[in-house]
A and B are shown apart, each in its own frame.
Chain A
């Protein structure tokens, strides 16, 4: 899904960089690494990343980590941030989703279709999210916004554990 060609050591090192806020998933599996263009002759690498959310505070940490990893391989990295097309959880790889689930974060479901008839005012429990611990589908949203911009907070009504849900956008 992320379609980043991994044909060189430097590209692979960059694609393996963990997300600073959800370190079980790499920036490639998260879908925020959009392009890695390696120039073997000049020993430079042009990297394009896109933020999950407009104000994502992790972007600077990710960019400096890319520069660091590239330098370790002997390359100078030029990191560009691109807003359009806007990131969607649909770009998250299957490996990434599995890693989130193992970590106890419910992976994002299908991206909701943009409201055809205006806002749905009451959205609690509007979609089914399975508990990442016990698998029960009987879960409730307890907060619209969780510990980071990309997550909401839910509770499992079967095992009673609270858990993060990666919001589909």
Chain B
């Protein structure tokens, strides 16, 4: 993970890609979408079939989509070819989570957008993922620290969401739960191996646990969209997941002879409201480049 400053950027036009050529109707709905922040239920209230918790689901889907993109960067870059495969497979599972949610979100937020519209046609300020998943790829220990926390969070999240009042959400969560347990297992195994390995691997794993720290609090923030979704018994309040996630991570850290660092002096914030850190723009540029350069292309 990069140690670069993650102060929220407030500029909106940083994504160096050209706007897609779209029809007037699409442009109108996109601008309407841009004005809304998560939790702005009134935006979706007008359309038939609209449900007010679309913004909450978008946050979950965007976490999965953006982390899939970051993990995909490890292909050909991991320390072993088996790890290329492992991180690529984990990325694929996360992409599957996002694909399970995007078309459904399009059907309940009143826009009718499809999965490619969400993944490829949104600008930085329209993404609602946490900063944790958008941070640049660091060394392998950094990735295992991030994967340990994120998969521990997803295990608790999807366990809770299997009881969601929305059948689609419960279905996606039930499917994802089996997979994220395996992700957690994989990250745990590496954190223990590196922590309880050589002096060098221990030092670097410990340093990674400290570097990831400022980006964790955001996972457990009860923002407006999640409060609304929890009230409707569709979502779960992120703060209620905190203790169980920390307990999971703490057990692994202890087994790896590592120390769970104390709270950070600073923390990232704003991702759920579309305010992102510097690496987000270049991530989107790389991810969306082909789709935006060739609007409507199929293969």
Contacts and interface: CB of A to CB of B under 8 A. Distances in A.
Main secondary structure of the interface of B (DSSP, over half): helix
A2 B193 CA distance: 40
- Name the residue in A87, A115, A149 with the highest tally of chain B Cβ atoms < 10 Å from its Cβ: A149
Nearest to B80: A143
B85 A146 contact: yes
A122 B82 CA distance: 17
Contacts, number: 102
B67 to A, nearest CB: 12
Contacts of A120: 185, 188
A135 B181 CA distance: 29
Interface string A90-134: 000000000000000000000000110011111110000000000
Interface residues of A, number: 32
Contacts of A86: 171, 174-175, 177-178
A3 B97 CA distance: 27
Given A145-B89, A149-B89, A169 B96 contact: no
B189 interface: yes
A123 B85 contact: no
- Name the residue in B95, B174, B185 with the highest tally of chain A Cβ atoms < 10 Å from its Cβ: B185
Contacts of A118: 247-248, 251
A64 to B, nearest CB: 14
B100 A83 contact: yes
A56 B88 CA distance: 12
Given A55-B99, A86-B175, A121 B86 contact: no
B115 interface: no
A142 interface: yes
A143 B90 CA distance: 13
A57 interface: yes
B224 interface: no
A105 B255 CA distance: 33
A82 B255 CA distance: 39
Contacts of B179: 53-54, 169
Nearest to B256: A121
A123 to B, nearest CB: 6
B252 A121 contact: yes
Contacts of B96: 51, 53-56
Contacts of A169: 178-179, 182
Given A115-B181, A122-B192, A55 B93 contact: yes
Contacts of B175: 51, 54, 83-84, 86-87
Given A54-B176, A83-B171, 11 more contacts: A55-B96, A83-B168, A86-B175, A114-B181, A118-B247, A121-B256, A122-B192, A143-B82, A144-B186, A145-B90, A147-B85
Interface of A: 51, 53-57, 82-88, 114-115, 118-124, 142-147, 149, 153, 167, 169
- Which 7 pairs of residues, A with B, have the shortest CB-CB distance? A54-B96, A55-B96, A84-B171, A143-B82, A55-B92, A145-B86, A83-B171
